[in-house]
Chains A and B, each alone.
Chain A
Amino acid sequence: MDKKELQKYAHNLMFELSNEELEALEGDFDVLKAQLDLLNKVDTTNVEPMVYPFVLETTYLRPDEADHLLTQEEALANAPQVKQGHFVVPKVVK
């Protein structure tokens, strides 16, 4: 795995990696590879992936009743930039 590829992965997550970070990451992937060998020692034939710690069958669905709402002021309280009650970013080109 080269640095270019790793940087591509970083961009996929919306950040950049410095050269040092890329180098360190190369090392991390080597460790990951070794760890994978450990994982692969476990036979998982016919085993289903486990998404949750246990399957607690639930039937609960939230009733469609308004419970709580933020005021516009609260909604925008942490906004880095605000205009006319909206959050603002530089023009987004679709």
Chain B
Amino acid sequence: MNYQMTIGIEIHMELNTKTKMFSGAPYHFKKEANTCTNEVDLALPGTLPCVNQMAVKKAIEACAALNLKIDPLVCFDRKNYYYSDLPKGYQITQQFHPIGRDGYLTIKDEGVSKKIRINRIHMEEDTAKQFHLHDETLIDFNRAGVPLIEIVSEPDMHTPREAALYVEKLRQIMTYIGVSDAKMEEGSMRCDINVSLARADSEELGVKVEIKNLNSIANIETALKYEYERQSELYDKGETITQDTRRFDEKSQTTVLMRHKEGSIDYKYFPEPNIFPIALKEDYIKEIIAKMDELPDVKLERYEKKMGLSAYDANTLLSDKELANFFDETMKLCDNAKLACNMLVSEIQGLLSKLGQSLCESKLSPGALAKIVKMVDAGEISSKQAKEVLSAAIDGADPSEFAQKMGLKQNSNEDEILKLVLEVLNENPQSISDFKNGKDRAMGYLVGQVMKKSKGQANPALASRLVKEELAKR
């Protein structure tokens, strides 16, 4: 039997602000336990929330990037439940008036585009981190109060691949615009997936199953493939699916039951009395959106259409935000996009991987790269010499100083090179006759001899042209 899968995804993303959503305590991942809190985060009696401007700004950027309508009146509500990782006994969230509604993003699967609608984005605060030991649980409140946005999709995805592409796309967009680190493995991006199966010919959706604990995009696909198998088998056997919450089990690469859902929990939502509604001015919102970092899709189009990079090169740059930013910075200082891109994605990456460094760890600056690109462009150094200069620039050397010091420069003086060419031809009559007899290789040998005589400084293209011209004359 064939079944149609329907998938909706809820994503929590930590916003990368300096301080918490409702308190001025700074937060860093990996700090010692309970050293990133103040009395607000611990919900000590009498403390009050105070909304972080940067969190609101980043939420607006997320909304704009995903085409949501932004509510200019920011309101918060309380979601009441008791848990040891929830200090106040309620979470401040945006139940009734999310900051954004009704957006979408576009995924591309083998060239085919598909719009996935987004129902809402709202701001809220994170909970504390718990470590479960043998018979006790340790609680670290550093993460308590870290700003989150929750991005809720419509159930518009129908294959595990679409789900994975959606999450990947979201991750890419959010990291590009600098809203979140969106690291699934560190928990700064967390996915809950709702999935149901129904007969392909059925109008109704099947029973919804929720999957949690998905800490990589690959796992999302694996988990959903498994769920398809599991649920379709059950349906085939005529069994019913129960409304469960399941979690992905890394070891077995399957999903396992966490709990049966018994009706929905009443969170007794009500408006947060401690925060007056905050009116965002239209100009304020507009300014934030105008100053936003370029979206990855826009960047891709710019690389391909305006700069003439190949799709492959453009995507390679885009796959790494650091690389793309470095490239953009370089291109502010020079013109030859293809050359700059080439150097970045092949030469530089090669050199860095030998050194075991990343681009930002190395001393290479966009300014240095731009200089080298310009030097090659102007014929001042050869591309072979450029490699040497790049290698030095990665160690922090100034490209022009280095080239000068090492005598690395390209000779493009036609008269001087012609002189060398004539010398070489006169010294190698055998090669001339070989060439005349159809041995093309002889031509390469002659050019090589010219390069050697010039101590590697002759412009190879020029040398090659002159050798060819002179050979024709003989």
Contact = CB atoms under 8 A, between A and B. Distances in A.
B287 to A, nearest CB: 14
Given A14-B82, A59-B281, A90-B136, A65 B18 contact: yes
Contact of A89 (B136, B273, B276): B136
A92 interface: yes
B272 to A, nearest CB: 9
Interface stretch (A17-25, A26-34, A37-45, A70-78): A70-78
A84 interface: yes
Contact of B53 (A14, A57, A63): A63
A55 B26 contact: no
Interface in A61-94: 61-72, 75-76, 78, 83-92, 94
B30 to A, nearest CB: 14
Nearest to B34: A75
Given A52-B276, A56-B276, A70 B37 contact: yes
Contact of B52 (A58, A61, A78, A83): A61
B277 interface: yes
Tell me whether chain A's interface is mostly helix, strand or loop, or mixed.
loop
Contacts, number: 118
A72 B36 CA distance: 8
Interface string B6-49: 00000000000111000011100000111111110010100000
Contact of B137 (A51, A68, A90): A90
A68 B139 contact: no
Given A61-B52, A87-B139, A90-B136, A68 B24 contact: yes
Interface string B47-60: 00011111110000
Interface in B107-135: 130-135
Contacts of B141: 75, 87
Contact of A94 (B258, B273, B281): B258
Interface of B: 17-19, 24-26, 32-39, 42, 44, 50-56, 82, 84, 130-141, 258, 271, 273, 276-281
Nearest to A62: B50
B84 A92 contact: yes
A83 B139 CA distance: 9
Contacts of A51: 271, 273
20 contacts: A52-B276, A56-B276, A58-B279, A59-B278, A59-B280, A61-B52, A61-B53, A63-B53, A64-B52, A64-B55, A66-B18, A66-B25, A68-B25, A69-B38, A72-B32, A72-B33, A83-B138, A87-B141, A89-B136, A94-B258
B273 A52 contact: yes
Given A66-B19, A72-B34, A75-B37, A61 B278 contact: yes
A88 B34 contact: no
A62 B53 contact: yes
A26 to B, nearest CB: 22
A90 to B, nearest CB: 6
Contact of B19 (A65, A86, A91): A65
Contact of A67 (B24, B82, B140): B24
Nearest to A13: B82
A51 B277 CA distance: 10
Given A67-B19, A91-B134, 9 more contacts: A56-B276, A57-B277, A64-B17, A66-B24, A85-B34, A89-B84, A89-B139, A91-B133, A92-B132
A78 B133 CA distance: 22
**From B25, B82, B258, residue with most partner A Cβ within 10 Å:** B25
Given A66-B18, A66-B24, A87 B34 contact: yes
Given A51-B271, A92-B137, A62 B35 contact: no
